[in-house]
Structure formats: structure tokens, C-alpha cells
Amino acid sequence: MHQRAGLLAHESDLVDLEKLTSSYFDVSPDVAIAEQRVAFGTSGHRGSSLNGSFNENHILAITQAIVEYRTAQGFNGPIYVGRDTHALSEPAQQSVLEVLAGNGLVALIDSNDRYTPTPAISVAIIDHNGQLPRGSDAVADGIVITPSHNPPQDGGIKYNPPHGGPADSDATNWIAKRANEIISNGMQAVKRATPNARKFDFLNNYVSQLDQVLKLDSIRNADVRIGADPMGGASVDYWGAIADRFRLNLQVINPNVDYRFGFMTLDWDGKIRMDCSSPHAMASLIDNKSSFDISTGNDADADRHGIVTADSGLMNPNHFLAASIHYLFGERDGWDENAAVGKTMVSSSIIDKVVSSLGRKLIEVPVGFKWFVSGLSDGSIGFGGEESAGASFLRRNGQAWSTDKDGLIMCLLAAEIEAVTSKSPSELYADLTRIHGEPSYRRVDAPATLEQKSTLSKLSANEVSATTLAGESISNIETHASSGGALGGVKVSTQNAWFAARPSGTENVYKIYGESFKGDQHLEQVLAEAQSLVDSVISSR
């Protein structure tokens, strides 16, 4: 833990914006170096211009590859393009628009040349395509320029196909491979022209429909006091608009944009990171929790949520997921009675218990929101959520809303729960633990080389020879989700505990997720044995 974790950043912690921007244009990546290749993780390609992993050639090549991909797929409608508030997002958007113009495609950008949350782009894509006649090839898709909650020196770009959610691995693997080929061949395939993007009112399109998703009248009538912190991100204009349109008792905390994010408190490792699930990054909201009934935070593209209650402080993302599922499936009478709940393999098992008590089907998937897209599109999944504070759910009538993570509706849902039940989400979760037990859950990172990460991602169940974990017999070893799809790691379960390990897509570490229904001390034993077990396996191959 860094000695200044949770404290305001110093001037020395802030990125040099001039150097960051000049490096975007001046540094040419060498795709023979693994760290400088285009690589799509669970949420697009990310990197920094300072180390040659997010530069102009990357974005030009990725955009050209997306153009070629969508052409091959027969997608002939416009492309919705948005950016967040990271410094590199502005020049990257310019690069994207140049390539789209060079290929003669219609690009739609924010009407005020401001910032666009990921869910606003998802909703715009779905709305556009829902109005097309059956069989039309004028389907729209989108490009979101964001590295999510990553530090200020990072940039990112992701592609959302016509379903509005994250692209699947077939698409991203094709795009990444083609982009690297383009860079290797001297960028000759890239077509560029002066941008000619058209304007689209993302904010009004999104905000005007929120009452189809949430019981905003109930929030207003209960006069729930909400403090919404955009954390300097793309939701900065949206929260004020939401408050005004629906007459909510909502105060926008820190409505400023600073590309260096100098107002942030440092995360656990001393870095500036807009992680709204981190108690260190959310320290300012936690310290002032009594000022509001519900305080909320969003990351830079507003696809994640952080919930602070006056009675309990920052909620563990798993706890809020469990409370949200319990509440929604008891309140949304417009949803199909067979609508399922989606969770990732590394989310808390208390969700399994809550879903079982509701008599609903549970669909467990690998890490990545892309696994929920199909179900959220057709209404067969009512709610899909990840342990990393990302989730979305259906409109009140059971139709699709955002098929990508939506941090804004999750924050507003916390206020709706308070308004309708007269209990905070943390109080509702406490009720659930009295019924189902109280789990201890934590994620830790362990160092790993690129080779060790590759080994872990390809691990098979029979390579784990252990028979016990923290004093209990191992009952299950999984490398794939029950619904299909590889975890890219391993999950080991006992009667009262489990751990899962998978490599990070952006850092030289692997992540260990662990949970125990036997308390914190048992969890620590689970995590320690998990790291020892995984280290022995990936080091011996």
C-alpha cells in the first residue's frame, strides 16, 4: 500500500500534458515489440503514448481495420463516435474521424463537441438500429475512445458493433490482427481526409429516456439527497441535465474537467486512477458520506459505478450487485417472468444464493461484459453485472436499454432503492446476509511475466493437482464458465470458499479473486494458498 493512498495528488504526481500529446504524434510503435502491438483486452486497446503503446499509428490502423471489418460484415450505416476526458482521447478522436472521412463514412459526434459516456453511445446505436426496416443494411455501430478508469497518461479505444455492446473476441481478434498488419506494412492501407463528422445530441437522446428505465418520480417524491461525482469523467454534463429534467435533489460534486485529474485522491499504489470501486480513489466521497443519502462516482467513460451510503460508506461492488438483483426482480413487473440474471465467474456467490431465492435462472459467464450482450438485447437476461462495478439492465417494459455497462443507471438505481424501500442499498444487503450468510471477498494482484500470464490463460483443470484449499476439500476446478466460454485462467471451489486466477490484460500481474463464507481469516488463507498454488503451476511449465 502506498503511503499516500487516499490523499490528494501532488503536483509531482501529475502527467506532463505537452509531452503526452507530442508523444502521441511523434512516437512510432514497433509491433515487433509485444508491448507496442495492438491488443484488445476485455475493453478494447489501451496504452500510453509515452511508452509507444497508444500512438497515432495505433489509432489510424485500428480505425482502418474497423472500417474493413464493418464493410466485410455488411454494416453500412453511420458510426457513432464518442470520447472521454483523458488527454489522449482528444487527438485520438481526431485520428478516428480522419480515417472515417477518408473512407467516405458518416461519423456522428457529440453536438457540443463534449464528452460522451459509453452507455450513451450504446443507447444511440440500439435506438438507430431499432428504427430500421427489417433486413436493412444501414445498421450503425460505434467507436468509444476511452481507457476507462486507467491513469491520466493512458488512452484507449473500443469498438461496439450494431448490438450496441462490446465486440466479441472474433471481431476484436480480427481487428487487432489487421491493425498490426497495417502498421507493419508502413500504414499504406490507411485512408485519411479532413474530418466531416455530423453532430448528434447524445446527451438529450440518453437523458430523455431514463424514466423508461428507472422510477425517477419515486426518487423525486422521496426527496432522496444525491451527491453525484463525475470524477472528472464523461458524465460531467449528464448529471446536471438529469437533475434538471427530472427535478431531483441531486448535487453535482466537482463538475470540472482536468486532463491531469489533479483533484483525485491517489489509489492504493500511489497512482491516479478513476476507479469508483476503490476506497482510496473514492476517499473524498467517503469522508463526506453524511452529506447525502446516496453519493455516487463514475469512471472516466461512466460505464462503472461507485455507491456510497450515508449509513455504511462505499459498498463493495458485489454487495450492490446482490442488492440490485434482489430489488429489481421484485419490482420490475414488465420483465419476462423467465428473464435470467447474468454474473461473471469471479463475482460473489451470494448472488447465486439471491438468484436461487428469487426462483430465477442464473447465467454464469467468463470475465467481460460481451457475454451479456445477447441476453440484454433480447430480454432473456434482465440484469447483467460484473464484480468490477459494471452492470446494466432492461428498460421497465423489458426492452433493451444499454447493452454495454451503464454506470449512470446503476447510480440512480441506488437512489431508487432508497426511495421505494426506505432502506439504503447497504441496509438491503445486510438483510440479505442475515438470510444467506455474509461472505468475505477480496481481489489481489500478483506479479507475473508475459510468459507466465500466457501459461495461466491456457491452463487446464487437470494441471491443478491440489486436493484441498484452506482446510476444505476441493469440490470443483473450472477453466470454462457453465454457460460456455473460457475464463482464461482457473477457478477452484470448496464447500464454503473459492478462488479464481486470471492474467491482467494491461499489466504484468495476474489477478486472484477469493471469497469465503467462513470469515476474513479464512479468506486470507484461501488467497495465500491460491497464490502459492498458481505460482507453482505457472512457474513449472
148 is catalytic: yes
Residue 55 near residue 91 (C-beta atoms within 8 A): no
Residues with Cβ within 8 Å of 473's Cβ and at least 6 positions away in sequence, in order, are 467, 494, 495
Q: Which residues of 34-65 are buried (b: 16+ CB within 10 A; e: fewer)?
A: eebbbbbbbbbbbbbbbebbbbbbbbbbbbbb
For 44, list phi and psi in degrees, rounded to 5.
85, -170
Q: Residue 515 pairs with which residues in a beta bridge?
A: 441, 498
Structure-block grid coordinates of residue 446: 500478483
Contacts for 475-484: CB closer than 8 Å, 24+ residues apart: 478/345, 480/366, 481/345, 481/364, 481/365, 481/366, 481/371, 482/364, 483/363, 483/364, 483/365, 483/371
Please work out, in degrees rounded to the nearest 5, the angle formed at the alpha carbon of residue 339 by the alpha carbons of 333 and 345.
130
Nearest alpha-carbon partner for 98 in 134, 65, 60, 70: 60
DSSP one-letter string for 354-401: HHHHHT--EEEE-SSGGGGHHHHHHTSEEEEEETTTEEEE--TTS---
Residue 303 near residue 118 (C-beta atoms within 8 A): yes
Per DSSP, helices labelled H in 108-267 are 118-130, 169-184, 202-207, 216-222, 238-246
Residues with Cβ within 8 Å of 366's Cβ and at least 6 positions away in sequence, in order, are 344, 345, 480, 481, 485, 486, 487, 488
Residue 61 near residue 38 (C-beta atoms within 8 A): yes
Nearest alpha-carbon partner for 212 in 308, 126, 303, 84: 126
Catalytic position from the list 23, 148, 277, 295:
148
Q: Rounded to whole angstroms, what are the CA distances from 57 to 27, 179, 411?
A: 9, 9, 37
**304 Cα distance to chain centroid:** 5
Structure-block grid coordinates of residue 428: 438491503
Residues with Cβ within 8 Å of 144's Cβ and at least 6 positions away in sequence, in order, are 44, 81, 82, 83, 84, 116, 118, 121, 157, 158, 159, 160, 301
**Residues classed as catalytic:** 148
